[in-house]
Amino acid sequence: MTSSFSRRKFLLGGLVLAGTGALAACGGNNTATPAASSSSPGPYPTPTNLAAPSVRKKLTARPMSIDIGGIEAQTWGYSAETGEPAIETTAGDVLQVDITNELSESTSIHWHGIALHNAADGVPGMTQPPIEPGETFSYVFETPHGGTYFYHSHSGLQLDRGLHAPLIVRDPEDAEDQDVEWTIVLDDWIDGIAGSSPDSQLNLLAGMDMGGHENMDMGGEGDMMAHGTPDPALGGDAGDVLYPHYLINGKIPRAHRTFSARPGEKARLRFINAGADTIFKVALGGHRLTVTHVDGFPVRPRDIESFYLSMGERIDVEVILGDGVFPLTALAAGKDDRAFAVIRTAEGEAPTPETTFPELNSLGTFLTSFEPAERALLPAGEVDQDTAVELTGQMMPYQWGLRIDGADAPGTVRQGQRMRMRMHNPTATPHPMHLHGHTWALPGSSGLRKDTVLILPGDTVDADLIADNPGEWAFHCHNAYHQETGMISSLRYE
Ligand SMILES: [Cu+2]
């Protein structure tokens, strides 16, 4: 399972991949459109003024059997007409994706973190009708900003099956001086294991208040709701589901991926947390990590030992690889389990998945502690509108929600306004809050750009946006189970 990659070849990690595929830049990148600056606000091209697509992809959402490492899981995933479902564009490219639905229920695709025109945002019932079984839907939009993104179903709990894959937008302003580049997808896995599915799991969670929690002592599926040792940095319950497996690029620890390079080479690692209910704490044995991008946007580089990555968040790091075989470990926070891979630059025995090392035991860095690079800054300005967001909910009964300015109704904004969303989390659980179509600037983090913000129990986070992209935009927790039970609303342009 080892192979090495040139700078222009990338290990892309969709769950539905068979083996470690290396995918060269897909599509013909004859970019007629000039690259946009990372920080430039909209307006974003709509179907009336979009250029011709320069990257095309044909996908099918369908039932499939995948091998997560000696374990076959019956699940739903994406298959691509040519090669892998991972997509790569360059900033400014227009992307066309035709998705055919061969599932037994309706589906959709959301392009997580991408500032695109509203009709392509992929939220059924809000920006488009559901894509029904047998139908094909075309998404056509510009990918304006470079960065590490991903796409996933926005229908029900489909995200917690295999319906997600990386979307890498190359940024001409990035220094591409790395020798190797790897995309690393973290995931929590239950679908198709011992008869479980995300929907059966939600039924168990919803049944807890009706005596279902007694099942926790009876073995079987109910065990998956028990909790592990709390992570002190996260406070409260880090997640609601104790998954049977945690994956890096689709593989369990004992069948782990190996990323190979040569000692002294410079690697770029693009991490995506595609999990539904798991915050990961990530570290690479024997190395410090130089963080270069957060949620796709460049930051002032800083060296760290480990970081927390919540659902929907992405982080890019650079590292000069040492000489040896190194553990790349992602602890499932609060769940006493882990995802695991190996980076290899020399012969020798690989570390075991259970191995622990100083970097993994270090105090984890939260992504909100970074500061934006100059070129990522949202233009400065006075706040025109303050909006209060209150997160609500609890485990029993299993029900989550959010209130905007005290009401159980969508928030509103006027085009051109600068809006500050003050998000408060009085619940006992951390929530990664995600807004579609915009990338916030966090005034508490020197204007760090983020589309997904982890809000810890008891915390309040301010997040600013410039209303430059008309439409109705979903705003929700990126815990799929919280979203599905009500922690979702929207932001509407008046
Ligand atoms: Cu949540």
Confidence of residue 208 (pLDDT cuts 50, 70, 90): low
The predicted structure's pLDDT at residue 301: 98
The alpha carbon of 490 and the centre of ligand 1 are apart by a number of angstroms equal to 15
Q: In DSSP terms, which residues pair with 189 in a beta bridge?
A: 245
| Bond into 327 cis (ω within 30) | no
How do 418-424 and 385-394 pair as beta strands?
A: parallel
The alpha carbon of 206 and the centre of ligand 1 are apart by a number of angstroms equal to 15
Higher pLDDT, 217 or 424: 424
Supply the mean pLDDT for the chain: 89
Confidence of residue 29 (pLDDT cuts 50, 70, 90): very low
Residues 46-60 have pLDDT tens digits of 888 899 999 999 999
Say if 17 falls within a structural domain.
yes
Could you say which of 154, 174, 194 is where a domain stops? 174
How do 431-435 and 452-455 pair as beta strands?
A: antiparallel
The predicted structure's pLDDT at residue 210: 52
Residues 108-128 have pLDDT tens digits of 999 999 999 999 999 999 999
Say if 21 falls within a structural domain.
yes
Could you say which of 131, 154, 174 is where a domain stops? 174
The alpha carbon of 338 and the centre of ligand 1 are apart by a number of angstroms equal to 21
Domain CATH number, residue 470:
2.60.40.420
pLDDT at 2 over 90: no
Angle subtended at Cα 483 by Cα 479 and Cα 486, rounded to the nearest 5 degrees: 140
Lowest mean pLDDT across 28-42, 376-390, 479-493: 28-42
The alpha carbon of 238 and the centre of ligand 1 are apart by a number of angstroms equal to 10
Say if 424 falls within a structural domain.
yes
Say if 223 falls within a structural domain.
no
Lowest mean pLDDT across 12-21, 207-216, 400-409: 12-21
Instruction: State which H helix or E strand residue 297 sits in.
Output: strand 297-304
Confidence of residue 24 (pLDDT cuts 50, 70, 90): very low
When divided into structural domains, the chain yields a total of 2
Instruction: State which H helix or E strand residue 199 sits in.
Output: helix 198-206
For residues 430-453, give the mean pLDDT: 97
The alpha carbon of 147 and the centre of ligand 1 are apart by a number of angstroms equal to 25
Could you say which of 124, 149, 174 is where a domain stops? 174
The alpha carbon of 431 and the centre of ligand 1 are apart by a number of angstroms equal to 4
The alpha carbon of 365 and the centre of ligand 1 are apart by a number of angstroms equal to 20
| Prediction pTM value | 0.90
The Cα–Cα gap between 254 and 1 comes to: 13
The alpha carbon of 478 and the centre of ligand 1 are apart by a number of angstroms equal to 6
The predicted structure's pLDDT at residue 297: 98
The predicted structure's pLDDT at residue 472: 97
Say if 143 falls within a structural domain.
yes
The predicted structure's pLDDT at residue 20: 30
Say if 433 falls within a structural domain.
yes
Determine the structural domain holding residue 89 and report its residue range. 9-174
The alpha carbon of 459 and the centre of ligand 1 are apart by a number of angstroms equal to 13
The alpha carbon of 428 and the centre of ligand 1 are apart by a number of angstroms equal to 10
Lowest mean pLDDT across 27-36, 207-216, 251-260: 27-36
Say if 402 falls within a structural domain.
yes
The predicted structure's pLDDT at residue 1: 32
Say if 486 falls within a structural domain.
yes
